[in-house]
Amino acid sequence: MSRSLVWVLAVSCSGCAIAGLASDNGDGPVDGNNGSGSGSGSGSGSGSGVHGSCADATSGVLATWTFTGAAGDQSSTAVASTAAGGTASIINRSSDLVATTGTSSINSNNWPSATSRDPAKGYYAMSVTPPAGCTLSLTGASIDVKASATGPASAAVATAVDSFGTAVPISTTAVNTPTLSVSGATGAVEVRIYGYGSTGMTGTFRVQNTLTLSGAFE
């Protein structure tokens, strides 16, 4: 065979070696773009702490109780209004007190005679609950009270956030606007109005006209 023919055959078959490299143990050709791979991953996580946005966020007066026309000796008085989404309880008296009449009020006698406050005795109570997804702050109140001559000489307001341990003194014969310090509460918060230092069993102490609690749903 001439050298020219050998060279032609070599060039003509130059792809043969390439085809042979593309085979795998004689099993046939493999697509040059053929590759396979798989990967999977999963992860899960959960977190809590920040509640969903508060759809009923507001600030100002959160609950109002009105005593206009009440006889005074009713067992309780329902809340008259609340900020949107929130709820509030009735206002009632502690079990040691005795209901008595008093126009446009909730009124009681049998107040403690001790000159220091007992957190478990001698109070009116009410509570406010924030809407779902919101927290509650209470920053103040407007409380119109009146004691008789032999009724409580001292009065104060306290909340459940510290089990009624800290009390803010108020007058027993005027409209009071005490500052409250409640923040970030996720459930109902009870507020109590205490009277103590009475000098007579028949001495009275009433909450009258209008009572409001102010703060924010956040």
The pLDDT profile of the chain, 218 residues, written as one tens digit per residue, is 444 433 333 334 344 333 333 334 444 444 444 444 444 444 443 333 344 589 999 999 999 999 999 999 999 999 999 999 999 999 999 999 999 999 999 999 999 999 999 999 999 999 999 999 999 999 999 999 999 999 999 999 999 999 999 999 999 999 999 999 999 999 999 999 999 999 999 999 999 999 999 999 99
- Spatial distance between the Cα atoms of 75 and 86, rounded to a whole number of angstroms: 23
The backbone torsions φ and ψ at residue 215, rounded to the nearest 5 degrees and listed phi first, read 165, -135
β partners of residue 86: none
What pTM was estimated for this model as a whole?
0.77
CB 167 within 8 A of CB 211: no
Please give the Cα distance from 89 to 84 (Å, whole number): 15
Q: What is the pLDDT of residue 52?
A: 59
Strands (E), 25-171: 58-66, 76-77, 81-82, 87-88, 91-93, 98-99, 105-109, 123-129, 136-147, 154-159, 167-170
The whole-angstrom separation of Cα 134 and Cα 205 is 35
